[in-house]
Structure 1
């Protein structure tokens, strides 16, 4: 069934249905199954998760893995292929490949686990469409839609495929995802278009990924997945996704280490080659130094933190759609939110139906009921509240009326009109925001008499509405107008010269726990700003009840008059923004981000979607409209600020544990650079054999696997956190030299004191055999000092506080690092130690080891306190 040869926009409905072998009643089930088998799922290919093979390939082709593989090849060639048979030794190459395999295997397991977890979570955030099949309307998952399906469209829907319209009523669609243009486009189901039009200009076509803002329509699915216009655009734009600030920071840090490796490794090779005369050994040692400078466990640490974080967030009611959003979640310092359902219970009730004199009047309820129940667009919480109250209090006869036509709600007019026939009259009933209703009304009904709506009357109405607003009541106006019975259609021009007959007052009380949640977010240094389409009086009343400063506000009209510089300054000063349209919400978020803030946006409506896309983190809820869920990075199972506060804290904890590995490992590696360079210059032998250095690196990496399970101090969790590559460099310069100082001290003590005392003389005075023992003891001593210091310093640098006394590590971290140090210390006394050319150390060394570890941790602690006082932050 190939439709590409048809100009779908110009076909008649009859031709279209025939070409697709379908009908207005929809497809039969057996034909649906056949088409699903023939055409596959309605899923854009670029959105599919990577295959297991791709995950495996990427794990071995990461920059660090490629560097290690290259080093392993060089090591294997110089130690095995290019040497005499009796000197062949592939140990170093095996250790390097082991490092690659461990890192890659852990990354592969984590990513496959993440893939399965996200797949299962996706089912919890299912997007559906209203499809007609065998004459019945059903909510069908969008991926199960087939060619020829009949689809019903209404406000809030996202187009799941390319659709040819066959019926429409005031259908306005946002094509921003495809065109970037914010203006709405009206779509019409014309029987035939005489002139061929370009795709995006076709009035009879609605395209996948676009959004229904208002109105209704019925259409036929004509293109799926990659065959759609959206799919074609996606294929051309899928090259490289935008990187988060965190990803850029990790990349910058990785490149810094690789640059250092490229500079230092050749220097080490040259110095050792000239000083020892053994260029092969110098080359192997240089390779080992390069491996030591490569943080090959960085992808594993990052991924394990993100996966563990996503799992914890899901346990707390947050579904992670984009894994990289977790860091941004911990970084946000401004949370923008709508009002309804977040600060309030999202359980709106119609409290009062009042005539223009302020008295309850069943006629007002009756007209409001007709307007809400007979309109065919998205029935929001306001409509549902009116319908509930009407069904409860009106008689059966009062509930019956016939709809003739309607003008759906949109965010420009902020009102909705329905033309109904009741007995022998046709009445246009319009409800909407009070200011907009005053704009289209020139008369007012007072005590049964229609009077002119004078300026004084307008002021009286506005003052009365304001008094209701200050009590936390949201008020809509209701106007009517008789229409000639010969007119069966209405247009926007009919919304004028109406008669204001009354008001509808709604109550949505503050949510229990909202005040506590706002206070908790404030403790975490997250500002809450309210961006709402509601008026200032209702918004201020609610905000005061939940503890948000509500004295000052900006309206949408004021926002519109400001240039970007003025609005950027105002966005920092104000916490409440009222009567905003969707474009204004998005503009505010964009300017906050431009000013340097990390911004989250919580929303669930059509009007929130543009702002969610502009935010660092778009947050939606499970019962949101399709557009909002598709725009979100995170989906809350409950629209509750308390859950958000937990998610922010969890995001910061994940970020903190990643920073522990990055900063501590980078500083340790940086310190080792100077140690190796100085040792290469002054020692008559290598400070450590290549395979010993590689083994030390492997042991340290194993101990770092416990970092994702560590805890963060509460003080750290109460500040927004972001990766600053400048901060990483600063940390490296401050703490790296400490490692070098104690390495050099160890070289001196081993070379001039401990080993000469044990062997009865200095290195140059010993026999060749004794020199070999001297070198082996030296290597073992530096290995043990390095193992103890760089592993135990994790406890000191994991917190700004005094380790163990003021800040205890997690049990997994304590056990893994403790067992790693213990196992690594025993190695020289085992057969593996013999294979690595380690030797048991003299008794006096152990006294030195305890003293040097104590002094190392003491100096690190002193310098840490100075660093924190100077820069106000450690990690």
Structure 2
């Protein structure tokens, strides 16, 4: 849009039939051609008639902090830390056991920092597509933000402008709009004074003045957007699985904690009640997969930050995972496969000779004079390039404006006669069509279109009727421009086993030809959805066809629902208001930034560069999150399994629970938390397979059972061998460190320089802690017999794990 200011003449612009029969709204629409004053615009905005932009809700800093701090497990950690503090007042040696709270604090602070950082990146990308408009204020045309518009504003519209409000056209010259974002139909629609202009449409030709009728939440696009903003169920398989684990553990912790205290303090009271309290805290702290949910969230947040470097705006973090799991990708044609631009392929003459430069300039100057700025006119002008040196040859006496109804336009030059450009089926005579058109159409592919250029020495009688002596000058062959790198994502999807479905409002044969050109394979089966009766069951249709043409917005949604009903995980790529219901229905929705506000708001992901290939790093980022969190989850849930089983068993044993909280901190930090964090960040492009929780428990459950059995065997060993009391805790810790390191070894495979370094760092951390800080971790020095005894368990654990895993695998196979 121009940034220039200009004054306008005063006259009253009244609209007699407002879209709402409300006296107040009607009064607001009585605007003079000088527009509103700045003061009046401010008053109306304060009164609620402004155009507040619809955006995805952004969390405040306070909301983020509270979300991370006020959690059930943080509350549990605080209660347990209070118990330790109460005990340690009398016995200060126990104060060190409160360090487990430090891990929770570090995890919480880390999560807050990462999410605030991600929010800043999201805000940065969200600002990139804020629209500007020309409005008449104080008698001057000014460029303002669309958010500053109010009802009754007089706006100036030119080619390529997109409306962000609902308006009524006051005056227009050759004014046509593209409503494909609203309807899915790519044909331009001619508008005359008094016609409605809906938010989301583009001006493709001409210029005009319009009065704003509806703003903000009351616009057509916003009403659809409200539907899009309705909260969908979280479709992250990982987060759903972890939430189930957390809820189950929350109940188990309360029950086991109460039973253990009753057992050790009332039914079979032990003398060292302080030790009982501390060891019970250790059992309950160990049951909590502290950091796993947070680590998962941090992994998603890191993904948001990384994808922002690719100019991918992530509006729903779990969509990073969902996109990596899809097996079906649904795309529209207009604005998705194609860019909305056209290119000239070539010019065909009936005698096979090239056009003269004068003829080329006659066509170019006609389009330039008509001020047609639709995609077709722009393509021809770029191809022919008007030359001002020929200006004296093309003095125009009459203009014949284009309209969708007549499908042609032209000019009458004083020296060069009448030149007409339009659809061949309209401007050619029946004889000309039979002689030239049929053969030419057979020689061009279905994804191309033809325009005919005609010439006559006489002027037309009016703007609607052609003369009979029009001679063919040439045919201009044009084609839709594909999205940049569109083929890259389609090739990638095919290699990954993702099925492509084309769902478009256009003719299925045209879409089929363009899709083939875009590199989308296996589209032999196409269907015209307009031929189907209402109430048709789409469950079979979606499996039989790959391309769906003449699809309504409602049908798009139903097609995706049918795919989901058949067990598919579906992603939808769209850019228009007509795509919103389908975007909302899809498991993962992707919008093009240059599309409608409604599509952007409703989508999980927005491609800010309008580049479909940016979906590829998003898929890779999803794979990193899923595969690495699966690795980390094995570590966390192994600890949860053996601690839960041991806590339950020790309710019935005469001894107190054998571990202290500080020892659980060593396991949780040195073997699980720190390695798990590093594992979650390393690149991992392996294809995702299997369901999250069963895949994780396939290792975590046998490993947890192994650790439990080994600790119970050690309890028996304490009865048979005359070991010091301190061995009770020390050997138990060695056993659990061993099984945890063994699980970490498996999680790091296949080894590379990163995963090997992570495992060696963990082992070094544990060894340094055990040998250099035994007092800090309540460890008893082992004599020769104790060393041999501990070494026996270290050697036995891998064999025991192998046996338990084989039994577990056989048992699960039998049950399947």
Q: Please give the per-residue CA displacement for 1:529-580, whole angstroms capped at 9, x wherever unaligned.
A: 344566566655565566543561313x246416776533333343344555
Q: Tell me which residue corresponds to 1:837.
A: 778
3-state secondary structure, aligned to 2:63: helix
Counting only pairs closer than 5 Å after superposition, residues 460-479 of structure 1 correspond to structure 2 as: 465-469=441-445, 473-475=448-450
Provide closer, same or farther for how the CA distance between residues 72 and 420 of structure 1 changes in structure 2, counting only shifts above 3 A.
Answer: same
User: Aligned pair 1:322/2:328, yes or no?
Assistant: no
Contact 1:302 1:658 in 2 (8 A): yes
For residues 607 and 141 of structure 1, the distance between their equivalents in structure 2, rounded to whole angstroms, comes to 25
For residues 675 and 861 of structure 1, the distance between their equivalents in structure 2, rounded to whole angstroms, comes to 20
Contact 1:340 1:508 in 2 (8 A): no
Q: Tell me which residue corresponds to 1:61.
A: 70
User: Aligned pair 1:718/2:668, yes or no?
Assistant: no
3-state secondary structure, aligned to 2:538: helix
The correspondence for 1:521, drawn from 493, 502, 510, is: 493
My pick for the range that moved more, 343-352 or 248-257, is 343-352
Provide closer, same or farther for how the CA distance between residues 429 and 90 of structure 1 changes in structure 2, counting only shifts above 3 A.
Answer: farther
Q: Tell me which residue corresponds to 1:445.
A: 429
For residues 157 and 518 of structure 1, the distance between their equivalents in structure 2, rounded to whole angstroms, comes to 31
Provide closer, same or farther for how the CA distance between residues 250 and 55 of structure 1 changes in structure 2, counting only shifts above 3 A.
Answer: same
3-state secondary structure, aligned to 2:751: coil
Q: Tell me which residue corresponds to 2:286.
A: 292
Provide closer, same or farther for how the CA distance between residues 480 and 792 of structure 1 changes in structure 2, counting only shifts above 3 A.
Answer: farther
Unaligned residue ranges in structure 2 (runs of 5+): 1-19
Q: Tell me which residue corresponds to 1:379.
A: 374
Contact 2:54 2:601 in 1 (8 A): no
Contact 1:606 1:627 in 2 (8 A): yes
For residues 161 and 577 of structure 2, the distance between their equivalents in structure 1, rounded to whole angstroms, comes to 9
Contact 1:430 1:478 in 2 (8 A): yes
Provide closer, same or farther for how the CA distance between residues 559 and 219 of structure 1 changes in structure 2, counting only shifts above 3 A.
Answer: closer
For residues 742 and 275 of structure 2, the distance between their equivalents in structure 1, rounded to whole angstroms, comes to 31
TM-score (norm 2): 0.76
The correspondence for 2:572, drawn from 580, 584, 601, is: 601
Contact 1:543 1:550 in 2 (8 A): no
The correspondence for 2:731, drawn from 781, 789, 808, is: 781
Contact 1:349 1:506 in 2 (8 A): yes
Contact 1:703 1:820 in 2 (8 A): yes
Q: CA deviation at 1:418?
A: 6.0
Q: Tell me which residue corresponds to 2:268.
A: 275
For residues 99 and 801 of structure 2, the distance between their equivalents in structure 1, rounded to whole angstroms, comes to 31
3-state secondary structure, aligned to 2:34: coil
My pick for the range that moved more, 355-364 or 594-603, is 355-364
Contact 1:158 1:627 in 2 (8 A): no
Q: Tell me which residue corresponds to 2:5.
A: none
Q: Tell me which residue corresponds to 1:259.
A: 251
Aligned residues: 778
Q: CA deviation at 1:109?
A: 0.9
Q: Please give the per-residue CA displacement for 1:177-232, whole angstroms capped at 9, x wherever unaligned.
A: 9xxxxxx9999975xxxxxxxxxxxx87967xx65698986445688768989989
Contact 1:9 1:204 in 2 (8 A): no
Q: CA deviation at 1:625?
A: 5.8
Q: CA deviation at 1:47?
A: 4.1
3-state secondary structure, aligned to 2:568: coil
Q: CA RMSD in A?
A: 5.5
Provide closer, same or farther for how the CA distance between residues 35 and 421 of structure 1 changes in structure 2, counting only shifts above 3 A.
Answer: same
TM-score (norm 1): 0.71
Q: Tell me which residue corresponds to 1:616.
A: 587
For residues 115 and 512 of structure 1, the distance between their equivalents in structure 2, rounded to whole angstroms, comes to 28
Q: Please give the per-residue CA displacement for 1:706-743, whole angstroms capped at 9, x wherever unaligned.
A: 2222343x5xx234x68655655666545532332333
Q: Tell me which residue corresponds to 1:796.
A: 746
The correspondence for 1:245, drawn from 204, 213, 236, is: 236
Q: Tell me which residue corresponds to 2:713.
A: 745
Contact 2:326 2:571 in 1 (8 A): yes
For residues 544 and 60 of structure 2, the distance between their equivalents in structure 1, rounded to whole angstroms, comes to 48
Provide closer, same or farther for how the CA distance between residues 859 and 509 of structure 1 changes in structure 2, counting only shifts above 3 A.
Answer: farther
Counting only pairs closer than 5 Å after superposition, residues 208-227 of structure 1 correspond to structure 2 as: 218-220=209-211
3-state secondary structure, aligned to 1:682: coil
Contact 1:355 1:361 in 2 (8 A): yes
Contact 1:661 1:707 in 2 (8 A): yes
Counting only pairs closer than 5 Å after superposition, residues 544-563 of structure 1 correspond to structure 2 as: 548-550=520-522, 552-555=524-527, 557-558=528-529, 560-561=531-532
For residues 787 and 292 of structure 1, the distance between their equivalents in structure 2, rounded to whole angstroms, comes to 13
Q: Tell me which residue corresponds to 1:114.
A: 118
Q: Tell me which residue corresponds to 1:666.
A: 637
Provide closer, same or farther for how the CA distance between residues 223 and 792 of structure 1 changes in structure 2, counting only shifts above 3 A.
Answer: farther
Counting only pairs closer than 5 Å after superposition, residues 31-430 of structure 1 correspond to structure 2 as: 43=52, 47=56, 49-76=58-85, 79=87, 86-87=90-91, 91=95, 94-131=98-135, 141-143=145-147, 150-152=154-156, 159-160=163-164, 166-167=170-171, 218-220=209-211, 242-246=233-237, 247-273=239-265, 274-277=267-270, 282=276, 284-316=278-310, 318-338=312-332, 348-353=342-347, 379-380=374-375, 382-392=376-386, 396=391, 400=396, 407=403, 417=407, 422=412
3-state secondary structure, aligned to 2:501: strand
Q: Please give the per-residue CA displacement for 1:595-649, whole angstroms capped at 9, x wherever unaligned.
A: 3322233445676565444433333445556565455433435555544333312
Contact 2:573 2:589 in 1 (8 A): yes
The correspondence for 2:623, drawn from 652, 655, 666, is: 652
Q: CA deviation at 1:445?
A: 1.3
Q: CA deviation at 1:788?
A: 3.5
Contact 2:575 2:596 in 1 (8 A): yes
Q: CA deviation at 1:33?
A: 11
The correspondence for 1:11, drawn from 27, 51, 67, is: 27
For residues 594 and 357 of structure 1, the distance between their equivalents in structure 2, rounded to whole angstroms, comes to 57
Provide closer, same or farther for how the CA distance between residues 27 and 477 of structure 1 changes in structure 2, counting only shifts above 3 A.
Answer: farther
Q: CA deviation at 1:307?
A: 2.6
Contact 2:703 2:739 in 1 (8 A): no
Q: CA deviation at 1:105?
A: 0.7
